[in-house]
Structure 1
């Protein structure tokens, strides 16, 4: 029988400790971020996991300040061939930004608000110009900040659980994170409709309108992630081919459902083009009231709840969206009543569309001088 000496016990302990340390370093490089965002290498892929499931993976400044340098590091790493980003839990990819923290910082006069938006937009631009394949698995709620983390990447994979929206006008903001750029490039007047109303797209429609590049069943996401990580030095075309193969699997046995959804999609495009083709928000409201359809009445009711300044600012933003890639605008931080107190009784200033002057809108698009964001 082999004698167990203190030295053998010490060596065994050191080996176990070394293995444990290696696992932690290899799979949980996120301790500095308080585990709110996790980084790991799986095969040839760098994987980012937004890890705030109880907060629907809402994006905060700490997470931004860890994701940005990690993307830069992987971009230069010869052993990292692509990046995958996903959300923890079963409900959300990322439901937006941490608005509570932003609102509280604003009330306290803290610089967090400016810092968060400035650094978030720099991160969005980094994703939009990333040289390696970037795959966002938007399996669940994807709004606001989550849109910024996904829509600018080359590949966006939606599932039947995906719920996409840019509900900014309901909280006194405008569709930021590059919203003016990508929404203005959707079919017809769909982008303007989504921007003004905060309408929620679900499932296959997220891919059908072009927000997502692919659609995959949710129960195939784990398998897809593994196959992506196993790709050897993949090009964008290699990744696209793999995603295409997964999307093709969805078509089996769902033809009738797809036809119904496609019909609904065509009707939505028709209504958006007919009712939202106008020279101002006021004209859109007139179109909706004259139409009188159930769709029009619903949108009239929705727009009546939105911030008038945000509606006019957003209209101008989408109108100009095709003419620029990025543009810095000021915003109206009327967040407290809707998201913090949750009393659904925001006090908009001005409270009616006619109270928002063209000069006020124009000022929002003027240069901020030295404070302009330079990317």
Structure 2
């Protein structure tokens, strides 16, 4: 039986256990779930019997498929403050996890997209199972990566982070560790005994290392063409370089970027470049709030969600439909301060 609030929060020995439990929505984060998690973290911070926090999922196919984009779609059609409230609370949760005074262990077992990376990849001990698949696929719905995803991706080797941000490509557990999105690959069959050790009071860092298997990433074999193609600082140049490559993975990247929303692509590339200058997660989340608030006013976001989630026809009509129509000034506006800038 699923939890009515979409998340179960309880004590399990020496750990506070947060289990995402909204399987019909692939554990998409709504406002109730986010607030329950924040309340639990506040309660356990003062509880001397809680040594660490574990965040996992009741579904072994999905950790968290992101934020509640159906709610965002509805908000884009007239109740924009609802989406902005969701983002404010979600970003508070991401920052809380990142700066929590006790170890936070995340078990990313299965699909982990967008907001799932926000709660999973900013923790102090980040574990991905052999079933994990991670991605920031926002450009496909007319949005840019948020939840400080650009900060995470900017730490990947070479230009791999830009590649992942612009294509929305999924990476498996081994490549997630290679990109710095996670710390350990653990067999899914080992997750239960791992949690039992944590509940018994074993140190989280040592437990993660004990159960870890050696990563076998595939992305290093693609570094040459990725670093070359994404070495230019404009989307048009990236597409030109990709069009000259014959590697199947480069052809796939060309197709993925060509299908993305032109405005979202240019805003995402700018956000990735700016992420290298950020002092930490707070600064990046403030930028994300500005960018997402501006996308609520842009027609591409509602259209992208409609095509991908509501009607599922996979044929969004972007406005503008051509990269050359998106000017630097258009991109600049997404990053300007708001009257109600996010304060964490």
After TM superposition, the score normalised by the length of structure 2 is 0.91
2:248 is aligned with 1:294: yes
Greater alpha carbon shift after TM alignment, 133-142 vs 67-76? 67-76
Greater alpha carbon shift after TM alignment, 330-339 vs 356-365? 330-339
Match of 2:68 among 74, 81, 98: 98
Determine helix, strand or coil for the equivalent of 2:55: strand
User: How far has the Cα of 1:367 moved from its partner?
Assistant: 0.6
Determine helix, strand or coil for the equivalent of 1:320: helix
Matches within 5 A, 1:44-123: 44-109=14-79, 111-123=81-93
* Structure 2: 5+ residue stretches without partners: 296-300
Asked if the contact 1:106–1:112 (Cα under 8 Å) also holds between the matched residues in 2, the reply is no
User: How far has the Cα of 1:110 moved from its partner?
Assistant: 5.2
Greater alpha carbon shift after TM alignment, 94-103 vs 192-201? 94-103
Match of 2:262?
A: 308
User: How far has the Cα of 1:102 moved from its partner?
Assistant: 1.9
Match of 1:25?
A: none
Q: Take 1:245 and 1:203, find their aligned partners in 2: how far apart are those partners?
A: 17
User: How far has the Cα of 1:205 moved from its partner?
Assistant: 1.8
Determine helix, strand or coil for the equivalent of 2:259: coil
Asked if the contact 1:313–1:361 (Cα under 8 Å) also holds between the matched residues in 2, the reply is yes
Match of 1:241?
A: 206
Matches within 5 A, 1:22-33: none
Q: Take 1:111 and 1:368, find their aligned partners in 2: how far apart are those partners?
A: 14
Asked if the contact 2:5–2:32 (Cα under 8 Å) also holds between the matched residues in 1, the reply is no
Match of 2:176?
A: 206
* Structure 1: 5+ residue stretches without partners: 1-27, 233-237, 252-257
Q: Take 1:128 and 1:181, find their aligned partners in 2: how far apart are those partners?
A: 12
Q: Take 1:181 and 1:275, find their aligned partners in 2: how far apart are those partners?
A: 21
Q: Take 1:296 and 1:243, find their aligned partners in 2: how far apart are those partners?
A: 34
Relative CO higher for 1 or 2, CA cutoff 8 Å, sep ≥ 6? 2
2:121 is aligned with 1:145: no
Q: Take 2:26 and 2:248, find their aligned partners in 1: how far apart are those partners?
A: 32
After TM superposition, the score normalised by the length of structure 1 is 0.84
Deviation string, structure 1 residues 247-304 (Cα, Å, up to 9, x no partner): 1xx35xxxxxx6xx44x32112222212111121111011111223322222111111
Match of 1:317 among 253, 271, 278: 271
Deviation string, structure 1 residues 353-372 (Cα, Å, up to 9, x no partner): 10101001001111113x10
Q: Take 2:152 and 2:190, find their aligned partners in 1: how far apart are those partners?
A: 28
Determine helix, strand or coil for the equivalent of 2:276: helix
Deviation string, structure 1 residues 128-149 (Cα, Å, up to 9, x no partner): 1111000000010000111111
Deviation string, structure 1 residues 302-354 (Cα, Å, up to 9, x no partner): 11110000000000000110111322422322322222111111111111110
Asked if the contact 2:55–2:105 (Cα under 8 Å) also holds between the matched residues in 1, the reply is yes
Q: Take 1:78 and 1:293, find their aligned partners in 2: how far apart are those partners?
A: 55
Asked if the contact 1:159–1:204 (Cα under 8 Å) also holds between the matched residues in 2, the reply is no
Asked if the contact 2:20–2:63 (Cα under 8 Å) also holds between the matched residues in 1, the reply is yes
Count of equivalent residues: 328
CA RMSD of aligned residues (A): 1.7
Determine helix, strand or coil for the equivalent of 1:330: helix
2:106 is aligned with 1:136: yes
Determine helix, strand or coil for the equivalent of 1:323: coil
Match of 1:330 among 291, 294, 309: 291
Asked if the contact 1:86–1:136 (Cα under 8 Å) also holds between the matched residues in 2, the reply is yes
Match of 2:186 among 209, 216, 220: 216
Q: Take 1:113 and 1:218, find their aligned partners in 2: how far apart are those partners?
A: 34
Asked if the contact 1:37–1:49 (Cα under 8 Å) also holds between the matched residues in 2, the reply is yes
Q: Take 1:62 and 1:168, find their aligned partners in 2: how far apart are those partners?
A: 23
Q: Take 1:106 and 1:288, find their aligned partners in 2: how far apart are those partners?
A: 34
Determine helix, strand or coil for the equivalent of 2:291: coil
Q: Take 2:186 and 2:310, find their aligned partners in 1: how far apart are those partners?
A: 35
Deviation string, structure 1 residues 204-248 (Cα, Å, up to 9, x no partner): 22222221111110000000000011116xxxxx3212211111x
**Which of the two has higher C-alpha Rg?**
1
Q: Take 1:294 and 1:372, find their aligned partners in 2: how far apart are those partners?
A: 43
Q: Take 2:222 and 2:55, find their aligned partners in 1: how far apart are those partners?
A: 30
Determine helix, strand or coil for the equivalent of 2:318: coil
